[in-house]
Structure 1
Amino acid sequence: MRTTIGYTLESIGYVVGAQGLVSFASQTFFGTEWGWLHKIVDLASTAYLGIVALGLALVVTGVKTRKAPDRRRAA
């Protein structure tokens, strides 16, 4: 179960981080809206960097959860 949760958090983190990065880059460098995140929330371009940080935090948490040792011991 721990492995499944780790992979799930990691996968969600990659998607959230990528969408934050795409939204930041599109607003900052091109003045347009790319991705699907702008359809959910309307944020300033620098706030999308927080979304990127959230995605990275989810990836790190997923990797740590996935690699955590199993605490159950066979008797």
Structure 2
Amino acid sequence: MRTAIGYTIESIGYVVGAQGLVSFASQTFFGTEWGWLHKVVDLPSTAHLGIVAVGLALVVVGVRTRQAPARRDIA
């Protein structure tokens, strides 16, 4: 179960981070709106870097959860 939860959190982190990165790049360099994040919230371009950080944090938490050693009691 721990592995499934880790993969789920990690996958959500990749999606959130990618959307934050795409939104930041599109607003900063092209002056347009890409992705689906702008349909949910209207944020300045620098706030999208915070979304990228949240995505990276979710990836790290997911990997650590997935790689946590399983406890086995051998008697």
TM-score bucket (shorter structure): over 0.9
TM superposition shift of 1:70 = 1.3
Q: Distance in 2 between matches of 1:74 and 1:39?
A: 53
Residue aligning to 1:52: 52
Runs of 4+ in 1 over 4 A off after TM superposition: none
Residue aligning to 2:43: 43
- Partner letter of residue 27 of structure 2? Q
TM-score normalized by the length of structure 2: 0.95
Q: Deviations over 1:3-48 (max 9, x none)?
A: 0000000000000000000000000000000000000000000000
Q: Distance in 2 between matches of 1:31 and 1:17?
A: 20
TM superposition shift of 1:55 = 0.2
Residue aligning to 1:22: 22
| RMSD of Structure 2 on Structure 1 (CA) | 1.0
- Partner letter of residue 70 of structure 2? D
Identify unmatched segments of 5+ residues in structure 2.
Answer: none
Q: Distance in 2 between matches of 1:68 and 1:20?
A: 28
- Partner letter of residue 29 of structure 2? F
Q: Percent identity?
A: 84
